């Protein structure tokens, strides 16, 4: 495995920061009553923001690739949740 200059503890913390942001978004959305699809969009935007920051500021491309893959999945899930809510309201 190539050495990127990031030690194990830093790598662990870089993985925990987005997870903490996702949990914080979850808690705030539940307390304020924001719809689930908007919560997923916010989490997707947070994943993109962390991925861009990890590529530009820090050379942590492995975690950034995972976040770049995870963000569109969150956007697709938000789309499905919104469609399901609209179908439930109409039917």
> Which tokens hold the place of 90?
């109409």
Q: What is the pLDDT of residues 24-81, one digit of tens each?
A: 999 999 999 999 999 999 999 999 999 999 999 988 888 999 999 999 999 999 999 9
Q: What are phi and psi of 2, to 5 degrees?
A: -70, 145
pLDDT, residue 4, reads: 65
Do residues 4 and 63 touch, judged by C-beta distance below 8 A? no
pLDDT, residue 10, reads: 86
CA atoms within 13 Å, Cβ hemisphere of 36: 11
Nearest Cα to Cα of residue 81 among 47, 41, 36, 50: 36
Sequence ranges of the domains in the chain: 35-91
Distance separating alpha carbons of residues 44 and 32, to the nearest angstrom: 19
């Amino acid at each position: 495995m190539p050495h990127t200059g990031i030690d194990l503890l830093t790598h662990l913390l870089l993985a925990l920061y987005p997870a903490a942001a996702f949990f914080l978004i979850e808690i705030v959305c539940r307390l304020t009553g924001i719809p689930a699809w908007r919560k997923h969009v916010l989490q997707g935007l947070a994943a993109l923001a962390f991925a861009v920051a990890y590529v530009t500021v820090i050379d942590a491309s492995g975690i950034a690739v995972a976040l770049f893959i995870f963000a569109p999945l969150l956007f697709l899930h938000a789309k499905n949740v919104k469609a399901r809510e609209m179908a439930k309201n109409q039917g």
